[in-house]
Chains A and B, each alone.
Chain A
Amino acid sequence: MSGRKRTLEAISFELVMTVIAMIALLIIIAPSLVVLIVSFTSGFSLRFPPPGYSLRWYVELWNAWQLHFAAKNSLIVALWATGLSVTLGVAAALAISRSRTLSARLLDSLFMSPLVLPALAFGLAALMLFSLVGLPVSPLTLVIGHTVVCVPYVVRNTVAALAQLEPTLLESSAVLGASRLYTFRRIVLPLIRPGIIAGAFIAFMSSFDNVPVSLFLRDAATDMLPIRMWQDLEGKLDVTIAALSGVLIIATVALVAVMERVTGLSRRLTN
């Protein structure tokens, strides 16, 4: 009797948990699939399911020079911000990763704080400071602002990679007479490279997608892709945006697949 009751009880538990998990996974994945399907519509509206299928909105996208211009700006700023984040972030990670001193822990909290503080407040603050010192908003101020909010990803992933590094490897290398620089180039760097690449990738994606900082730090001539899309969506519901979203979703899936191969991205983010 009691054994049977327990099984029933166990089944009810597993059933409830599995069903909720399935619903949650569906909620996570469904929006992207819906956008992909709608982007191939032959109609003029975002009706789902579409009345018919065509590539017309992708053709439209090919001619949307405003979006191309914004995409180019976003790409350039993201590349610069990522480069700067990697240069500054990897050096800082090397310094703080193995240190247990108070200053190292304080610096770590400082470098991580842009992750939780509202980016919009930082964007406004940076704009105020730049206008106080007379530095006009430009692609340069954009790169600086983006670097502040992107560098935490590089620091965090590099610190995590360094934490897994076996200290005995460095000691053996030193005992065998290798200089610190040589050890860094031949031992440390190859071992932490996947971590750096993963951090750089996340930094790049978050810069490319940034709105709050860009809103305040761009000049009128520098249109950024996510802002352009946001403003288009506030006005009219343009199906071209669906095609652009389709392109971005497919590009993201492809990049994540590459990153999973190169860096084991999924393991990195759950450890």
Chain B
Amino acid sequence: MGAAPAARDVTSYGMGLAAPLALFFLIFFVAPLLQLFWLSLHNDTAGLHWGLGQYLHFLTDPFSLGVLGSTLLLGAEVTAVCLVLGFPIAWLYQRVGPKLQTVIILIVLLPLLTSVVVRTFAWIVILGRQGIINATLQSLGLIDTPLKLLYTQFGVVLALAQVQMPLMTLPLITALSRIDPNLDDASCSLGAGSWRTFFRIVLPLSLPGIIAGCTLTYAAAITAFITQSLIGGGQMLFMPMYLYQQASTLQNWPFAAAISIIFLLAVLAVVSIFTTLGRMSRGYGGA
């Protein structure tokens, strides 16, 4: 009673302000995911008989495992392409003046905000039988019949790499801008060449950015339903489309729920591996 109320910290707001969104998430995000998990633990479509049948079915079925494997592989390929192509963009960004920097950022940013369907459609036009690549190769006389580029792994990786490139490049730009430029000069003046400086100094110091970029790119690439299905066509099946087919066409909700949970766990596993690596790399390149 007698104690004066502690002086309130005027610079922060009460946690109560987070309550509406927390409640919204509990009802419309956490509860659905729990319900999804609950349903996946049932052996029949009506959800009456408990059991691990759906998971056993998935984990003993070579077809399902193949879909999971090719999805995880696709993510790795796209991430690798994005890293190899995205890193030089971030490097170039550090080398140019502010005007060109804005131009580079906007070029990188635009696809992120352009509709995914539109971007994927563009690749259909480029990779198609009458597309640019085939038309160019044919007019140069290098090929007689059009190459099959659409509906191939190559096409899917290329299109996904372009679609997800901003997610890799933006964290890399941030990471490279935090490296002390003196380190670069010091390394060079001590006699290490540009290549050696790059691989021994710049690359290790940008590891946090590389890991952040890889996490975002990988998660986005394996869940990119539209690009996978339009460029991959009917013959290439990845986890999102597999899930959608089971849920929507076959109405097999418990199996679709199990696929979702396995897919969620796969994504979470990859993200936490990257996060652990990120924590370790901060200790390493923490200067």
Interface with A: B13-21, B58-66, B278-286, which one? Answer: B13-21
- Distance in angstroms from B265 CB to nearest chain A CB is 11
Nearest B residue to A120 by beta-carbon distance?
Answer: B240
Inter-chain contact A212/B240, CB cutoff 8 Å: yes
Q: Assuming A91-B17, A122-B29, A248-B115, is B91 touching A17 (CB within 8 A)?
A: yes
A-B CB proximity, top 10 nearest: A31-B122, A13-B194, A125-B32, A95-B18, A121-B260, A21-B88, A24-B85, A125-B36, A95-B17, A92-B21
- Which of A12, A28, A48, A101 is B135 in contact with, Cβ under 8 Å? A48
Q: Are A35 and B11 in contact (CB under 8 A)?
A: no
Say yes or no: A120 contacts B29, CB within 8 Å: no
Selected A-B contacts with CB under 8 Å, 15 pairs: A25-B108, A28-B162, A48-B125, A48-B135, A87-B20, A107-B22, A118-B239, A120-B240, A129-B31, A132-B35, A144-B28, A230-B230, A252-B110, A255-B113, A271-B174
Query: Is A202 within 8 A of B113, CB to CB?
Result: yes
Are the CB atoms of A104 and B15 closer together than 8 Å?
Answer: yes
Asked if B109 contacts A269 (CB within 8 A), the reply is: yes
Distance between A246 CB and nearest chain B CB, rounded to angstroms: 9
B128 with A28: CB separation less than 8 A: no
Contact of A245 among B121, B126, B161 (CB under 8 A): B121
B107 to chain A, nearest CB (A): 6
B243: Cβ under 8 A from any A Cβ: yes
Contacts of A48 in B (CB 8 A): 125-126, 130-132, 135
A24 to B105, CA, bound (A): 13
Tell me whether B117 is interfacial, beta carbon within 8 Å: yes
A212 contact set on B, CB distance < 8 A = 223, 225, 240
Residues of A in contact with B (beta carbons under 8 Å apart): 6, 9-10, 12-14, 17-18, 20-21, 23-25, 27-32, 34-35, 38, 45-49, 87-89, 91-92, 94-96, 98-99, 101, 103-104, 107, 110-111, 113-114, 116-122, 124-126, 128-129, 132, 144-145, 147-148, 151, 155, 167, 170-171, 173-174, 180, 183, 202, 205, 208-209, 211-212, 215-216, 226, 229-230, 233-234, 237, 241-242, 245, 248-249, 252-253, 255-256, 260, 265-266, 269-271
Residues of B close to A121: CB separation below 8 A:
36, 243, 260-261, 263-264
Given contacts A32-B111, A117-B264, 10 further A-B contacts (CB under 8 A): A12-B194, A17-B88, A25-B108, A27-B85, A28-B165, A47-B135, A96-B18, A129-B28, A212-B225, A256-B110
Chain B residues with CB under 8 A of A125: 32-33, 35-36, 257, 260
Partner of A226, one of B14, B117, B240, B263: B117
Q: Are A266 and B28 in contact (CB under 8 A)?
A: no
Q: Is the CB of A35 within 8 A of B122?
A: yes
In the assembled complex, the CB of A149 is this many whole angstroms from the nearest CB of chain B, namely: 9
Do A215 and B15 have beta carbons less than 8 Å apart? no
